[in-house]
């Protein structure tokens, strides 16, 4: 039979088992609570979100009146845009017509100026040709160094001869541009086969050339006849002209007398009016 001591020991084991069982139950309950708590919070948040923003809320169906009102508003805006476009197009047409009128007047003015220029040039040439001081005046183009020195000396010592030669050259020269006037004067004063024997400073290999810069009176003559009624050229311009022309004088020897290589003038091109004319034609249609 079990002794009193064994009974007490058995009771102790039973109490221990109950305590362990209770601890296990409380531990499991705590673990379950911790596992369920976040899910409950997330569920509540989702419910709140769904309550505030319901994607399945009924917004109502569009009616024929609403659609008709919307279309009417769109058509009104389109009409306003069309009226603005028509207004802008009309302004463009008016500007194009005014530009065409201005160009027509400008063309007429330019044509009148050209005719007036020709009349003035012819009248001026007639007045120069009728100068009694030039009657019987003759000039022979320079063909060698001796004639060059003689011409330079005569221009410096004989004022009457210098004046008559200047007037005579002004009658012969028809260009208005200074560079072309210098070129025409060079063609008249010097023979072409003589200029290759000259250079500006006289430096050349294997033999030196005739220094054109030493002929100061001839250079002054070119400065005077190279100027026009609007522009007076300087000695530097004359020097630069000969410095450019003399190195290529040999290339002009075999040209015919009436075949001259004048200086090129850079003339601005007139604006093309073809586009405006087509536009005007389209407007008339």
Of the CA atoms within 13 Å of residue 111, those in its CB half-sphere come to 6
pLDDT in tens, 233-260: 999 999 999 999 999 999 988 876 555 5
253 close to 192: Cβ distance less than 8 angstroms: yes
* pLDDT attached to residue 66: 81
- Tokens 């989702």 sit on residue: 46
Length of the chain equals 285
pLDDT in tens, 201-217: 998 888 899 999 999 99
Strand partners, 210: 198
Instruction: Provide the phi-psi class of 211: left if phi over 0, else alpha when psi is between -120 and 50, else beta.
Output: beta
Residue 217, H or E segment: helix 216-226
Of the CA atoms within 13 Å of residue 122, those in its CB half-sphere come to 6
- Chain centre distance of CA 265: 21
Exposed, middle or buried by CB within 10 Å (0-12, 13-18, 19+), for 279? middle
* pLDDT attached to residue 213: 94
pLDDT in tens, 111-165: 877 777 666 555 555 555 556 667 788 899 999 999 999 999 999 999 999 999 9
* pLDDT attached to residue 120: 59
* pLDDT attached to residue 58: 53
Strand partners, 190: 142
What distance in Å separates the CA atoms of residue 195 and residue 187, rounded to the nearest whole number?
10
pLDDT in tens, 58-88: 545 668 888 888 888 888 889 899 999 998 9
SS percent in the chain: helix, strand, coil, step 5 = 70, 0, 25
CA dihedral (271, 275, 277, 278) in degrees, to 10, reads 170
211 close to 200: Cβ distance less than 8 angstroms: yes
Nearest to 257 by CA among 196, 192, 163: 192
248 close to 183: Cβ distance less than 8 angstroms: no
Nearest to 213 by CA among 236, 181, 234: 236
């Amino acid at each position: 039979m079990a002794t009193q001591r064994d009974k007490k020991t058995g009771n102790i084991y039973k109490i221990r088992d109950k305590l362990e069982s209770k601890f296990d139950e409380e531990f499991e309950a705590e673990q379950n609570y911790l596992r369920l708590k976040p899910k409950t919070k997330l569920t509540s948040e989702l419910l709140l979100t769904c309550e505030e923003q319901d994607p399945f809320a009924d917004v109502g169906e569009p009616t024929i009146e609403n659609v008709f009102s919307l279309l009417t508003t769109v058509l009104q805006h389109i009409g306003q845009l069309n009226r603005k476009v028509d207004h802008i197009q009309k302004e463009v047409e008016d500007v194009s017509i005014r530009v065409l009128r201005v160009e027509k007047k400008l063309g007429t003015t330019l044509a009148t100026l050209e005719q007036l220029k020709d009349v003035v040039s012819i009248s001026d040439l007639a007045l120069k040709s009728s100068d009694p001081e030039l009657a019987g005046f003759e000039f022979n183009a320079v063909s060698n160094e001796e004639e060059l020195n003689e011409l330079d000396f005569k221009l410096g010592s004989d004022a009457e001869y210098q004046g008559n030669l200047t007037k005579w050259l002004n009658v012969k020269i028809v260009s208005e541009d200074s560079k072309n006037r210098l070129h025409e004067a060079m063609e008249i004063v010097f023979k072409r086969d003589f200029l290759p024997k000259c250079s500006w400073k006289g430096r050349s290999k294997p033999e030196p050339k005739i220094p054109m810069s030493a002929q100061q009176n001839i250079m002054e003559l070119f400065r005077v006849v190279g100027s026009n009624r609007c522009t007076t050229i300087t000695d530097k311009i004359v020097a630069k002209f000969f410095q450019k022309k003399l190195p290529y004088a040999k290339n002009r020897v075999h040209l015919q007398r009436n075949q001259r290589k004048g200086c090129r003038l850079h003339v601005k091109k007139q604006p093309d009016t073809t586009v405006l004319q087509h536009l005007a034609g389209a407007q008339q249609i």
